Amino acid sequence: MLYTKDEQEKLFLGIDGGGSKCKAIIMTADNQILGSGVSGPGNPLHGFEQAKDSIVKASYLALMDAGLTDIPLNTLIAGVGLAGVNLPQQFRQMSAWQHPFKEMFLATDLLVACLGAHQGQDGAVMITGTGSCGFSYVRGQEFIVGAHGFPHGDKGSGGWFGLQAVEQVLLSLDGFKPASELTRMLMDKLECSTGTDIVEAVAGKPAVFYAGLANLVFDVAEQGDALALAIVHEGGAYISKVARRLWQQEPPAMSIIGGLSVRLMPWLDQEIRDRLRAPVSPPEVGSVLFARQQQALLAECAVKVNH
Amino acid sequence: MLYTKDEQEKLFLGIDGGGSKCKAIIMTADNQILGSGVSGPGNPLHGFEQAKDSIVKASYLALMDAGLTDIPLNTLIAGVGLAGVNLPQQFRQMSAWQHPFKEMFLATDLLVACLGAHQGQDGAVMITGTGSCGFSYVRGQEFIVGAHGFPHGDKGSGGWFGLQAVEQVLLSLDGFKPASELTRMLMDKLECSTGTDIVEAVAGKPAVFYAGLANLVFDVAEQGDALALAIVHEGGAYISKVARRLWQQEPPAMSIIGGLSVRLMPWLDQEIRDRLRAPVSPPEVGSVLFARQQQALLAECAVKVNH
Tell how far CA B47 is from the center of its chain. Answer: 16
Q: Is a pLDDT exceeding 80 seen at residue B280?
A: yes
What SS3 state is found at B171?
Answer: helix
Q: Find out whether A80 and A17 touch, Cβ atoms under 8 Å.
A: yes
A202 touching chain B per CB within 8 A? yes
Return residues 156-185 of A near B (CB < 8 Å).
163, 166-167, 170-171, 174-176
A204–B148 C-beta distance less than 8 A: no
| Chain B residue with the nearest C-alpha to that of A167 | B152
B174–A166 C-beta distance less than 8 A: no
DSSP string of B74-88, one letter each residue? GG-EEEEEETTTTSH
Q: Find out whether A91 and A106 touch, Cβ atoms under 8 Å.
A: yes
| Chain A residue with the nearest C-alpha to that of B246 | A174
β-bridge pairing B123-128 and B254-257 = parallel
* Residues in Cβ contact with A147 at an 8 Å cutoff, skipping those fewer than 6 apart: A86, A110, A131, A132, A133, A135, A153, A154, B199
With 0-12 / 13-18 / 19 or more C-beta atoms within 10 angstroms meaning exposed / middle / buried, residue B203 is middle
B196–A86 C-beta distance less than 8 A: yes
DSSP string of B105-118, one letter each residue? EEEEHHHHHHHHHT
CA distance A275 to A252: 11
CA distance B294 to A148: 49
A189 touching chain B per CB within 8 A? no
CA atoms within a 13 Å half-sphere pointing along the CA-CB vector of B218: 20
Q: Find out whether A159 and A167 touch, Cβ atoms under 8 Å.
A: no
Contacts of B90 in chain A (CB under 8 A): 200
What ipTM was estimated for this complex? 0.82
A147–B199 C-beta distance less than 8 A: yes
Mean of pLDDT values over B222-247:
97
Q: What is the pLDDT along chain A (307 residues), one digit of tens a residue?
A: 556 666 666 899 999 998 789 999 999 988 999 999 999 999 898 889 999 999 999 999 999 999 999 999 999 999 999 988 988 889 999 999 999 999 999 999 999 999 999 999 999 999 999 899 999 999 999 999 998 999 999 999 999 999 999 999 999 999 999 889 999 999 999 999 999 999 999 998 999 899 999 999 999 999 999 999 999 999 999 999 999 999 999 999 999 999 899 999 999 999 999 999 999 999 999 999 999 999 988 888 777 766 6
Axis crossing angle, helix A226-247 with helix A158-173, rounded to the nearest 10: 150
Q: Report pLDDT for B270.
A: 96
B196 touching chain A per CB within 8 A? yes
Q: Find out whether B250 and B282 touch, Cβ atoms under 8 Å.
A: no
CA distance B134 to B144: 6
List the domains of chain A with CATH numbers. 5-119+280-306 (3.30.420.40), 158-249 (3.30.420.40)
Q: Report pLDDT for B299.
A: 83
- Print burial letters for A110-125: b (CB count within 10 Å at least 16), e (below 16): bbbbbbbbbebebbbb
CA distance A101 to A59: 10
DSSP lists the bridge partners of residue B133 as: B127, B146
* Residues in Cβ contact with A119 at an 8 Å cutoff, skipping those fewer than 6 apart: A280, A281, A289
Q: Report pLDDT for A287.
A: 98
- Print burial letters for A141-168: b (CB count within 10 Å at least 16), e (below 16): eebbbbbbbbbbbbbbbbbbbbbbbbbb
B248 touching chain A per CB within 8 A? no
Contacts of A167 in chain B (CB under 8 A): 148, 152-153
What is the Cα gyration radius of chain A?
21
When pLDDT is cut at 50, 70 and 90, the band that residue B7 belongs to is low
Number of Cβ within a 10 Å radius of residue B110: 28
Element (H, E) at A126: strand A123-128
Per-residue pLDDT reduced to its tens digit, B120-164: 999 999 999 989 999 999 999 999 999 899 999 999 999 999 999
User: Which amino acid is present at A199?
Assistant: V
Q: Tell me which of B174, B194, B246 to substitute to probe the interface with A (most A C-beta atoms closer than 10 Å).
A: B174
Return residues 28-47 of A near B (CB < 8 Å).
45-46
CA distance A211 to A17: 17
Output DSSP code: residue A142. E
Q: Is a pLDDT exceeding 60 seen at residue B1?
A: no
Per-residue pLDDT reduced to its tens digit, B79-130: 999 988 988 889 999 999 999 999 999 999 999 999 999 999 999 999 999 8
CA distance B259 to B253: 20
With 0-12 / 13-18 / 19 or more C-beta atoms within 10 angstroms meaning exposed / middle / buried, residue B3 is middle
Q: What HEC string does B182-194 produce? A: HHHHHHHHHCCCC
With 0-12 / 13-18 / 19 or more C-beta atoms within 10 angstroms meaning exposed / middle / buried, residue A195 is buried
| Chain B residue with the nearest C-alpha to that of A201 | B87
User: Which amino acid is present at A290?
Assistant: F
B83 touching chain A per CB within 8 A? no
Q: Is a pLDDT exceeding 90 seen at residue B298?
A: no
Q: Phi, psi at residue B52, to the nearest 5°?
A: -60, -45
Q: Which of A148, A151, A238 sits opposite B151 (nearest CB)?
A: A151
